[in-house]
Amino acid sequence: MEKKFFTTRTILVLSAIAIAAMMRLVPHWPNFTPVAAIALFGGAYINRKALAFLVPLAAMLLSDLFLGFHSTLFAVYAAFIITVYIGLKLGKNVKAGSVALASVSSSVIFFLITNFASWMSGMMPYSPDFSGLMQAYVAGIPFFNNGLLGDLFYNTVLFGGFYLISRRYPSIVKA
């Protein structure tokens, strides 16, 4: 007998991801977005592995339809997929410390991948050598700071909110 997919828990997780994705559309500091938190939370709490990747990617794609596409989109989605994978591993050990470590790790991965892609695209005025790559990383530090703060904030909201709801309504976690 196959378990029902649309449980109260699943609806809660999907709703949290949808609301977080909509937060990309409101004015915010550069890179202070719920992008990594959506991926991490989806990976940790969506029970079906394929959907753990598909749902956050779909939420990201839908918000990108409104925000527009750019030349380094592939790198952003690659970092996003890696973050979902981290969330899958986290799902077995969701605790404050492990969520914080996963959040910081996903921020660093996103920074490294997307700044590398920006440097590779040649659209920025960096030389096509190691020195240029390092310039790209240094120039990205202010965005990394905002991204890290955003990831920590939104992961606290998503994981913390789910924890508080599960404490109040334990049947949701079991569903």
CB neighbourhood size of 118 (10 A): 21
Q: Counting beta carbons within 10 angstroms of the beta carbon of residue 56, is it exposed (0 to 12), middle (13 to 18) or buried (19 or more)?
A: buried
Q: How confident is the model at residue 1 (pLDDT cuts 50, 70, 90)?
A: very low
pTM of the model: 0.86
pLDDT tens string 38-83: 999 999 998 888 988 988 888 888 888 887 777 788 898 999 999 9
C-alpha–C-alpha distance, residues 168 and 161, integer Å: 11
Confidence of residue 159 (pLDDT cuts 50, 70, 90): very high
Handedness of CA 28, 113, 37, 145 (dihedral sign): negative
Give per-residue pLDDT as tens, 95-142.
999 999 999 999 999 999 999 998 998 877 889 999 999 999 999 998
Residue 61 three-state SS: helix
What gap in Å lies between CA 52 and CA 160, rounded to an integer? 19
**124-133: b or e for each residue (b if 16 or more CB lie within 10 Å)?**
eebeeeeeeb
Name which residue leads in pLDDT, 157 or 57.
157
Do the Cβ atoms of 59 and 38 come closer than 8 Å?
Answer: yes
